[in-house]
Amino acid sequence: MNFEYTVSGDDYSLAGRASSDIKKKLKQLGIPATVIKKTAISMYEAEINMVIHADGGIIKVTLDPRHIRIILKDTGPGIPDLELAMQEGWSTASEEARELGFGAGMGLMNIQRNSDGLHIDTVVGEGTTVTIVLNMED
């Protein structure tokens, strides 16, 4: 089953809607609470990143009997040094974003910690595609 969401680029107040919707769906499907929590945290983090760093984008979520696959595609600035970006505490979030409590530099590490698979394709100047995979069973 597939779901697609368009994430707006500059409205922070709407950021997180896609993650909330997926979370509701997973609850209706009766997915274990621990898996839902991991999905909620990792997808929310990635969705927020999309709003803060890239000008929004498209999220595709695929559910199959064994996995939850979340693909977040943006056409933002790309990540120049992925290795550095994966380190905890590293952030390029704007002052505005930080004031709202976002971009504390937990981002990519936090996604990795709360998922069963993370893959990032990024090209500077073209955009980033983040793929998050979670196992349905805890």
Partner 1 sequence: MEQNYFHSVTLDESLCKGCTVCIKGCPTEAIRVQKGRAWITAERCIDCGECIRTCPSGAKKAISDPLSLLEKFDINIAIPAPTLYGQFSSGISCNRILTALKGIGFDDVYEVAAAAEILSRETRNWLKIQKEKKPQISSSCPVVVRLIESRFPSLLDQVVPMISPMELSARIVREKYKNSSARVGVFFISPCAAKVTDIKTPRGIESSSVDAVLGIKDIYKELSQAVGHVETEESLSIANSIGVSWARTDGEGSAVYSENHISVDGIDHVIDVLENLENGHIRNVDFVEMMSCPGGCVGGPLSVENPYIARNIISSRERVLQQAAEEKPVELPEGICLFWTEELESRTTHRLDPDYRKAMQMMEEMERIQASLPGLDCGACGAPTCKALAEDIVRGKTTETDCVFMLREKIRDLTREMIELESRMPPGLDR
User: Between 39 and 122, whose beta carbon lies closer to partner 1?
Assistant: 39
- The least CB distance from residue 131 to partner 1, in Å, is 20
Per-position x/- string for 101-120, each x denoting binding to partner 1 as judged by CB under 8 A, each - no binding: x--x-x---x---x------
Count Cβ neighbours within 10 Å for each residue of 73-112 and write b for 16 or more, e otherwise: bbebbbbeeeeebbeeeebebeeebeeeebbebbbbbbbb
Per-position x/- string for 20-49, each x denoting binding to partner 1 as judged by CB under 8 A, each - no binding: x--xxx-xxxxx-xx-xx--xx--xx----
| Of the candidate residues 18, 50, 63, 79, the single one contacting partner 1 (CB under 8 A) | 63
Q: 137 exposed, middle or buried (CB, 10 Å; 0-12, 13-18, 19+)?
A: exposed
Other Cβ atoms less than 10 A from the Cβ of 118: the count is 19
Both tokens of 11, joined, read: 């409205």
Both tokens of 128, joined, read: 């980033």
Pairing of strands 57-63, 2-7: antiparallel
Per-position x/- string for 67-96, each x denoting binding to partner 1 as judged by CB under 8 A, each - no binding: ------------------------------
The binding site for partner 1 (CB under 8 A) comprises 1, 16, 19-20, 23-25, 27-31, 33-34, 36-37, 40-41, 44-45, 63, 65, 101, 104, 106, 110, 114, 136
